[in-house]
Amino acid sequence: MDSNQIRKSFLEFFKSKEHNIVASAPMVVKNDPTLMFTNAGMNQFKDLFLGNAPIKFPRVADTQKCLRVSGKHNDLEEVGVDTYHHTMFEMLGNWSFGDYFKKEAIDWAWELLTEVYKISKDNIYITVFEGSKEDGLPFDQDAYDFWKKHISPERIINGSKKDNFWEMGDTGPCGPCSEIHVDIRDEAQKRLIDGKTLVNNDHPQVIEIWNLVFMEFNRKADNSLEKLPAKHVDTGMGFERLCMVIQGKKSNYDTDVFQDYIKFLSAKSGINYSSSDAKPDVAMRVIADHLRAIAFAIADGQLPSNTGAGYVIRRILRRAVRYGYSFLDFKEPFIFELTDILSEKMGVEFPELISQRALIKKVIQEEEISFLRTLDKGIVRFQEYISKTPGNIDGQFAFELYDTYGFPVDLTQLLARENKVQVEMEEFNQALQKQKDRSRAATSMDTGDWIELKPGRETQFVGYELLNSPVEILRYRTVKSKGKEQYQLVLNQTPFYSESGGQIGDTGILKRTEDNTTINIVDTKKENGVIVHYAEKMPENLLGSFQAVVDKKKRTLIENNHSATHLLHAALRKVIGTHVEQKGSLVNEENLRFDFSHFSKVTDEQIAEIEKIVNEKIRDNIALNVQVVPIDKAREMGAMALFGEKYGDTVRVVTFDKDYSIELCGGTHVSATGQIGLFKIVSEGAVAAGIRRIEALTADKAEALINSELSLLNNLRDVLKTNDVLKSTENLIQQNADLTAQIEVLIREKIKALKTELKNKIQLINGVNSIIETVDIDSADAIKDLAFQLRGEVENLFFVAGSIIKGKPNITVMIADNLVKEKGFNAGSIIRELAKEIQGGGGGQAFYATAGGNNPAGINSALEKAGKILV
Ligand code: SER
């Protein structure tokens, strides 16, 4: 079976067991502050486990794109060095939400592996949770008993909390787990060492392929466990490892999942791949792995950048570039060339790789170009260092290379070795540790546990219709971040919109009915499906009923901008093409910002056309139409959806004229477009390779802009005393150019005359032709010109000029080169002395220097001082 068939059989198997097959959620997580990237198949179902969302399908299966490069599950440094860890990987999973439990999970896993995939029973080992005193949990007898029906007890191993109690992060749903390990060593090796002793011991050929988690608990911030409302199953099987086992390979990279990339890299570098520990082999694995992580992230809308998730992606990309650069001798961009192979290979299962193909390629190429440039600069810096500094390489310098030029220390070590020196590693590690400590201190956040006031979990959002509603506080918690305390509140229902889809969260107040005391709500965000209200102060009494009141004026402005964003999106697709896809959006009360895929500048004519269409749609006063429909129906309607967005099975479709703008959107909108009033684009530019950004204003903000531009124009009319501002300005520019040209001619003539005059005043002092004079020209450029002309025409020149330029004293010193060389004259140090007389400062080179000052009366004494230098 090739990898595509292996994936398909998994999904078909669980379909036959009445599972609903769902698409992979995006790998880049939006709307969850506790997680940057999907690191397990269960992430998208976290709300279901916690009981925050209703269960629609009790049985689900999928393949999920995961990325383990940050937080609790971080494999980055292993990747490529070994043969079975990855940054991005697919996790095949089956779930039960409060439906089947351990028995079925175990029976089906066994059936699939041994009957469908025909993995030999003699190669399988099972681990079960041995229990934990710390958490007060017993040995998982049930799991053990179910396994014993399939496999001999000799092959069942007890595992500790570290290996057999699965947790998503420091907090969240968790439970005991049972892992399936496979021994793929040769028979001879198996006879030598018992496979059982190698389980969970980092052996590359005795590896875990599947983890069955029996979710029963929620880990809280105080480290205690609380029972979940129901029992669930979460399983995750490493797809790439499964392919290795089924295809009888010894390394994930030898399967068809990675071979095409490795073959390409091998051909390009002229180095044979031999699956060894040698650096070129490691490099090919690193690149084959990282390529997928980067491409999938870009397809999900996460571009490389300098902060947050974007920075993680940038670092992965740079790691791949460095390995290629150092060990395969790739000095030009190369990763982008692999993207076509990737789209061919995985595009059927993940269509975003096809639809975003051009963008992925372009973004990767641009990143590569810019990083290779940095690397080159770093190497120049390294060479400078080596040529000046004898002995070993300072750890602090290695850290500078790491921090500023992205040099991993192994690259610096490699360069050091080539120069027969070493890097002071202890110092380097200290510097690195210091930086880590600093960044940890800067981001640390201390989140308390929720304190329950009333039962009830799901917050109903009533803010599409209401801006005002009676509410109760269900729970609250304190969050300390950077020394500031904030409070978070969950209500039974709320009119406050929580930040999402680019629209910022609502602000407003909660007013306690009994005593009219109020608290300000400063922001609203969603966390694991729950709407969380942020307050800077706590009400004294949290019980009783409150009135929640959204800041109406602000909400209206936000809605203007949000609806205008939809009108803009549709106009862009009309004017510049349907390749335009939303890549980011920000909608607040001030303005709107829209990022979209497009490869060239949007021209002024296109901008004008787009504005015209949007303003027409505003004047048409099109009524808002909102429908909640199944996702397939929405697609049929032609709704524009972000690729890789995670949607429930029903979606909200926002339409302004079914022939103009239909979008999947959870945001709030104007009831008819006329309310937007006016739309005006204020800027257009690039944000990254292949991504443009438009910023625009609506309503009174747009009006204010136009008014201020018009009043500027009126002022200009007054100043220019004409109605034809354009013509008049053009005339002025022309006149100015003519006059400047005339002045230049006059100055040239003046310089010529001055030069003759000055030459007549030459005094020969000790073999030096000295000219020390005041000169009457009001232009620094002209004096410079004069000085350089004299330098060309008078031998052994020593020229000091004093002049007044725009009311300020100025001194110029010009000395013939031979005097500088032979007699040690230095215009720079002379000028510093002379400048004191005019209360100023200056500098320059040994043959030419100038100074400006504040005391015009000092010019004479400066020249006198100059006169004494030669005698
Ligand atoms: N959540 C478990 C894991 O990631 C099983 O899917 O290993």
- Atom index in ligand 1 nearest the CA of residue 93 equals 6
Query: For residue range 745-755, what is the model confidence (pLDDT) as tens digits?
Result: 999 999 999 99
- Atom index in ligand 1 nearest the CA of residue 42 equals 1
Residue listed under structure tokens 């510093």: 832
Between residues 312 and 790, the one the model is more confident about: 790
Please, are residues 471 and 492 in contact by the beta-carbon 8 Å criterion?
Answer: yes
- Atom index in ligand 1 nearest the CA of residue 91 equals 6
Which residues sit opposite 627 in a β-bridge? 653
Q: Ligand 1: distance of its center to the CA of 764 in Å?
A: 93
pLDDT at residue 712 in the model: 96
Residue 763 has pLDDT above 50, yes or no: yes
Sign of the Cα torsion 34, 39, 45, 50 reads negative
Q: Ligand 1: distance of its center to the CA of 20 in Å?
A: 19
Query: For residue range 243-298, what is the model confidence (pLDDT) as tens digits?
Result: 999 999 999 999 999 999 999 999 999 999 999 999 999 999 999 999 999 999 99
Strands 124-129 and 156-159: parallel
For 122, 370, 375, 460, the CA distances from 405, given in Å and listed in that order, are 51, 11, 6, 49
- Tell me the Cα Rg of the chain: 36
Burial readout 335-354 (b: 16 or more C-beta within 10 A, e: otherwise)? bbbbbeebbebbeebbebbe
Please, are residues 173 and 218 in contact by the beta-carbon 8 Å criterion?
Answer: yes
- pLDDT band of 647, cuts 50, 70, 90: very low
Q: Ligand 1: distance of its center to the CA of 127 in Å?
A: 14
For the beta carbon of residue 126, count every other beta carbon within 10 angstroms: 26
Q: Whose CA is nearest to atom 2 of ligand 1?
A: 236
- 3 state SS of 18: coil
pLDDT at residue 643 in the model: 46
Q: What is the chain's mean pLDDT, rounded?
A: 92
Q: Which of 367-371, 380-384, 439-443 has the lowest mean pLDDT?
A: 439-443
Residues 6+ away with beta carbon under 8 Å from 144: 128, 156
- pLDDT band of 642, cuts 50, 70, 90: very low
Mutate to test the pocket of ligand 1, among 210, 235, 237, 241 (most ligand atoms within 8 A of CB): 235
What's 544's DSSP letter?
S
Q: Ligand 1: distance of its center to the CA of 360 in Å?
A: 29
Query: For residue range 12-64, what is the model confidence (pLDDT) as tens digits?
Result: 999 999 999 998 999 988 766 667 899 899 988 988 888 888 888 999 999 99
Query: Could you tell me where the beta strands, DSSP code E, fall in 544-660?
Result: 546-550, 582-587, 592-597, 625-630, 650-656
Q: Ligand 1: distance of its center to the CA of 856 in Å?
A: 81
Burial readout 834-855 (b: 16 or more C-beta within 10 A, e: otherwise)? bbbbbebebebebbbbbbbbee
Q: Whose CA is nearest to atom 3 of ligand 1?
A: 236
- Atom index in ligand 1 nearest the CA of residue 41 equals 6
Question: What phi and psi values does residue 761 have, to the nearest 5 degrees?
Answer: -95, 5
Residues 6+ away with beta carbon under 8 Å from 852: 805, 808, 809, 810, 838, 840, 841, 842
Please, are residues 338 and 264 in contact by the beta-carbon 8 Å criterion?
Answer: yes
Q: Is the pTM of this model over 0.75?
A: no
Mutate to test the pocket of ligand 1, among 44, 60, 91 (most ligand atoms within 8 A of CB): 91
Mutate to test the pocket of ligand 1, among 213, 214, 237 (most ligand atoms within 8 A of CB): 213
For the beta carbon of residue 124, count every other beta carbon within 10 angstroms: 20
Joined together, the tokens standing for residue 10 give 């998994």
Question: What phi and psi values does residue 14 have, to the nearest 5 degrees?
Answer: -75, -25
Strands 172-183 and 206-219: antiparallel
Cα(284)–Cα(269) distance, integer angstroms: 10
pLDDT at residue 290 in the model: 97
Q: Ligand 1: distance of its center to the CA of 39 in Å?
A: 9
Q: Ligand 1: distance of its center to the CA of 447 in Å?
A: 25
Sheet holding 691-698, edge to edge: 582-587, 592-597, 691-698, 679-688
Of 871, 805, 810, 800, nearest to 837 by C-alpha is 810
pLDDT at residue 332 in the model: 95
Query: For residue range 705-725, what is the model confidence (pLDDT) as tens digits?
Result: 999 999 999 999 999 999 899
Q: Hey, what's the torsion of the CAs at 343, 347, 352, 354, to 10 degrees?
A: 50
- pLDDT band of 644, cuts 50, 70, 90: very low
Between residues 416 and 96, the one the model is more confident about: 96
- Atom index in ligand 1 nearest the CA of residue 236 equals 6
- pLDDT band of 622, cuts 50, 70, 90: very high
Q: Ligand 1: distance of its center to the CA of 106 in Å?
A: 15
Question: How many H helices and E strands in the chain?
Answer: 25, 35
Of 283, 297, 288, nearest to 240 by C-alpha is 288
Amino acid at 547: Q
Mutate to test the pocket of ligand 1, among 72, 179, 219, 234 (most ligand atoms within 8 A of CB): 234
- Atom index in ligand 1 nearest the CA of residue 66 equals 4
Q: Whose CA is nearest to atom 4 of ligand 1?
A: 40
Helix (H) or strand (E) holding 446: strand 445-447
pLDDT exceeding 70 applies to what percent of the chain?
97
Cα(507)–Cα(534) distance, integer angstroms: 9
Please, are residues 455 and 493 in contact by the beta-carbon 8 Å criterion?
Answer: no
Averaged pLDDT, 571-585: 91
Residue listed under structure tokens 């609506």: 698
**What are the DSSP calls for 64-76, one per residue?**
EEEE-EETTEE-G
- pLDDT band of 452, cuts 50, 70, 90: confident
Q: Name the region of 48 (left: φ>0; alpha: ψ -120 to 50; beta: rest).
A: alpha
- Atom index in ligand 1 nearest the CA of residue 40 equals 4
Residue 463 has pLDDT above 90, yes or no: yes
What is the greatest pairwise CA distance in the chain?
116
Q: Ligand 1: distance of its center to the CA of 49 in Å?
A: 13
Instruction: Please list every protein residue whose CB sits less than 6 Å from any atom of ligand 1.
Output: 40-42, 93, 166, 211, 213, 234-236
User: Of how many residues is the chain composed?
Assistant: 871
Averaged pLDDT, 486-513: 94
For the beta carbon of residue 748, count every other beta carbon within 10 angstroms: 12
Residue listed under structure tokens 């006016």: 678
Q: Ligand 1: distance of its center to the CA of 81 in Å?
A: 23
Burial readout 554-581 (b: 16 or more C-beta within 10 A, e: otherwise)? bbbbbbbbbbbbbbbbbbbbebbeeebb
Of 825, 813, 814, nearest to 862 by C-alpha is 813
Burial of 64 (0-12, 13-18, 19+ CB in 10 A): buried
Averaged pLDDT, 554-570: 98
Q: Ligand 1: distance of its center to the CA of 700 in Å?
A: 52
Cα(766)–Cα(652) distance, integer angstroms: 94
Strands 88-97 and 124-129: unpaired
Joined together, the tokens standing for residue 656 give 């302004």
pLDDT at residue 648 in the model: 56
- 3 state SS of 586: strand
- Atom index in ligand 1 nearest the CA of residue 237 equals 6
Q: Whose CA is nearest to atom 6 of ligand 1?
A: 236
pLDDT at residue 130 in the model: 97
Residues 6+ away with beta carbon under 8 Å from 83: 204, 250, 251, 252, 253, 275, 285
Strands 73-74 and 206-219: unpaired
Q: Ligand 1: distance of its center to the CA of 211 in Å?
A: 6
Cα(228)–Cα(832) distance, integer angstroms: 79
Q: Ligand 1: distance of its center to the CA of 96 in Å?
A: 13
- Atom index in ligand 1 nearest the CA of residue 168 equals 1
Question: What phi and psi values does residue 109 have, to the nearest 5 degrees?
Answer: -60, -45
Query: For residue range 397-433, what is the model confidence (pLDDT) as tens digits?
Result: 999 888 888 787 878 888 888 888 999 999 999 998 8
Q: Which of 85-94, 399-408, 806-815 has the lowest mean pLDDT?
A: 399-408
Task: Please report how the helices 827-837 and 859-870 are oriented relative to each other, as an axis angle in degrees rounded to 10.
Answer: 140
Q: Ligand 1: distance of its center to the CA of 116 in Å?
A: 22
Mutate to test the pocket of ligand 1, among 211, 232, 242 (most ligand atoms within 8 A of CB): 211
Q: Ligand 1: distance of its center to the CA of 561 in Å?
A: 41
